[in-house]
Structure 1
């Protein structure tokens, strides 16, 4: 499904970074793991700020576009085609993990998120933005499956070894290409791995 969606010649989620991520780059630490990186807009943005970024996604087509975008901006990113249901990040390796619109079913999150915590160095940062369960009635983006949508309690429960720095649900205008456009309900979460 994602290879098909990313086959569009245009960058379907745009080439600008997620605005929540862009507002909080000062808290991120190197190197950065980006889950469900897609077409590269967030990884390329972080690389342009000097971060070393490893973008993982299940779509080879999306990551080919990510490398094309990186080349056009004169930066380098590392990409890896991987099923997030099977992906195993290196333990104690990353300063930060970002998860922007990586909407995964709970069966995958329950396996992956403990590995995400383990892959962070002590005091490492996780930054996540996802559509909330309140997004289900809107046509401005996100899956139509409550299990893949988030609430604050779900996020906090799924990262028990991280201390929240910011945790909120809010409505905001999202302008990220043709699939994420309009008023949306999102969960925003930043946390630090307990030392």
Structure 2
């Protein structure tokens, strides 16, 4: 695993700390709809990792479903708000402040990985991220992923303004070619996830299982 780049970590942390420092929750406190729809693929007591978890809306909800949840984010502000949300909801989540390259990524450790709108990652970082996701899943472990497609550049209702960071079906099939594809759906929907994701959106969702 590559060592975390201190400059990149600091820059990313500062960017996301600024985004999360306002009152309230940038992406709301309710779980992502794709995650909620497919959470039946996970069972109570299983160990799950929530990648780039932000202010905790997904990890806390997973813990409320009886899962043992690890979560990390580069933003100390976001993680502090996530801890507060977990306390308010009466659940425990193992939170860490880390970027993708700095997280330990234990191999064959998780029954599930949740990666919702992790599109801060440029192609090089995304390749490392996806490889680590595959390795950290146990055989039979499930990946639940959602992101924006390039058409999102027309809607501008969330996500990065870079086509290189967005997902196509071909990109995801290639990235997770060794996994069993349970569902991949490219679709449009109006989403209401705080002020960060708000309005008509071009989406793609993936559910896949490690063989």
Q: TM-score, normalised by structure 2?
A: 0.89
Name the structure 2 match of 1:63: 79
Name the structure 2 match of 1:52: 68
Q: CA RMSD in A?
A: 1.0
Name the structure 1 match of 2:153: 136
How far off is 1:77 after superposition?
0.5
Q: Which runs of 4+ in 1 moved over 2 A?
A: 85-88
Q: Deviations over 1:138-167 (max 9, x none)?
A: 121110001111011101111122111001
Q: CA–CA distance in 2 between the matches of 1:108 and 1:87?
A: 13
Structure 2 counterparts to residues 71-150 of structure 1, below 5 A? 71-103=87-119, 104-150=121-167
Contact kept in structure 2, 1:136 and 1:146, CA below 8 Å: yes
1:133 is paired with a residue whose SS is: coil
Q: 1:164 aligns with which of 181, 197, 200?
A: 181
How far off is 1:55 after superposition?
0.9
5+ unaligned residues in a row in structure 2: which ranges?
1-14
1:22 is paired with a residue whose SS is: helix
Name the structure 2 match of 1:190: 207
1:87 is paired with a residue whose SS is: coil
Name the structure 1 match of 2:56: 40
Q: How many residues align structurally?
A: 194
Q: 1:4 aligns with which of 18, 21, 38?
A: 18
How far off is 1:53 after superposition?
0.8
Name the structure 2 match of 1:154: 171
